[in-house]
Every structure is written in C-alpha cells, then in structure tokens.
C-alpha cells in the first residue's frame, strides 16, 4: 500500500475502527509519506494494458455511488505515462450515469482483476472525458468508441488475494487445454499404432 492511498482513505473514522479492531498500529506509518500523487510502475502499467475489463465507481450529485463494469479488447485500457490512464468508452445502453456523475465529481475508484492469478489492483484518480480522435482499436472489434476517459492517477494499492476465486476466460482456458489436447492426440495415435489400426482423425473444434 502506498502512503498516498492511506492518506486519502484512512479517514479519522477509518482510523477509529482500525484502533478498535487492533490494526491501527500496523497501518499508522503508512500515511506518513509525502503528499504527492503516486506514479505507476512498469508492473502496474503492463497489468492495466492486459486487462479485458475493470470496475469503476463514481458518485452522483445525489451522493449515491455507482459502480460500472467496462470492457473491451486488451489494450482498451492503457497507461499514457506513469501518472495517466485512459480507456476507450464504447457505446452501450446510453444511460450515461458515469458520464453525468463526472460532471459534478471527477473522483473515481477502479478495481482491475486478474482472476487466474488472484491479483487485484485498486486505483484512485480524477477522470475527465475527451473526444475519441485517433484512438486505435482492433479491426475485429466493431464496437463504436463514443468517448475516451482520461484518469489522472492519485494513488493505487495491490490488494491481497484472499477470497479471490480463480476464473478463466475461454481464451485462457484454450491456452491451458491446448497441450492436454495435443497429448491426448499423441496417445490416441500411439494406441492405434500398437493395435495396428489406422490413426484416428481429429475433428477440428
């Protein structure tokens, strides 16, 4: 956890609960660093660039928080530099709740997940909407980029893996299953050879 993350989130009320439950002593020194925005490292920037989705929270003028899931091909979220993230906001259901929330409060909180690795990156920042001019998108991804959201990173934290259940996308499963399928095909050919039978033909998936 960075000092800036602790400075922003360890409010007096949070500190009181930490003291009541015995964790305040271990967290006390975390907020004593410089009051400067965090800089993303190479690991954080690479992690963001490989995500196919993330969750972002904003707050409306009524005070109610709103959490939105954003997704796209890997690369739709990327780091411009060590202080700035950006993502392509594709056309959706046209409710524009997050877009409207940013008109009155630019603070956002992101959670980026890697379920197979049980990793979780949490980011605090300030977001603004810009036009999607010259935003490069994969040709096979036909969704329309309606806007680009820039996020000035304020702080980040890598959370513990506790209670993160590993989950896999189809592409991730294919990568794991490909060697097993090839090994099964080899064994089938070997069995056929030993029995003196023609090797079985594999049907393409």
Q: Do the beta carbons of residue 36 and residue 4 sit within 8 Å?
A: yes
Q: Do the beta carbons of residue 145 and residue 88 sit within 8 Å?
A: yes
User: Strand, coil or helix: what is 7?
Assistant: helix
First to last CA, the chain: 45
pLDDT for the residue numbered 136: 66
Convert the pLDDT of each residue in 137-153 to its tens digit.
655 677 788 899 999 99
Convert the pLDDT of each residue in 29-41 to its tens digit.
888 888 999 999 9
- Identify which has the larger pLDDT, 47 or 164: 47
Mean pLDDT is highest, among 65-74, 137-146, 178-187, for 65-74
Q: How many Cα atoms sit within 13 Å of 29 on the Cβ side? A: 2
The CATH T-level fold of domain 37-159 is Pnp Oxidase; Chain A (2.30.110)
Q: What is d(CA 116, CA 24) in angstroms, rounded to the nearest whole number?
A: 32
Q: What is d(CA 16, CA 179) in angstroms, rounded to the nearest whole number?
A: 53
Domain-wise residue ranges, the chain: 1-36, 37-159, 168-200
């Amino acid at each position: 956890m960075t000092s800036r993350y602790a400075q922003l989130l360890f409010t007096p009320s949070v500190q009181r609960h930490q003291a009541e439950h015995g964790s305040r002593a271990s967290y006390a020194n975390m907020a004593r660093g410089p009051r400067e925005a965090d800089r993303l490292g190479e690991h954080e920037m690479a992690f963001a660039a490989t995500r196919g989705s993330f969750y972002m929270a904003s707050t409306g003028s009524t005070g109610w928080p709103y959490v939105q899931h954003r997704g796209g091909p890997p690369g739709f979220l990327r780091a411009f530099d060590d202080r700035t993230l950006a993502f392509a906001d594709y056309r959706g259901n046209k409710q524009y709740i997050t877009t409207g929330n940013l008109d009155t409060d630019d603070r956002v909180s992101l959670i980026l997940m890697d379920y197979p690795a049980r990793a979780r990156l949490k980011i605090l920042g300030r977001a603004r909407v810009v036009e999607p001019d010259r935003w490069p998108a994969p040709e096979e991804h036909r969704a329309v980029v309606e806007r680009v959201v820039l996020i000035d990173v304020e702080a980040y934290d890598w959370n513990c893996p506790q209670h993160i259940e590993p989950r896999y996308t189809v592409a991730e499963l294919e990568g794991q299953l490909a060697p097993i399928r090839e090994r099964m095909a080899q064994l089938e050919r070997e069995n056929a050879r030993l029995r003196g039978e023609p090797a079985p033909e594999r049907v393409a998936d």
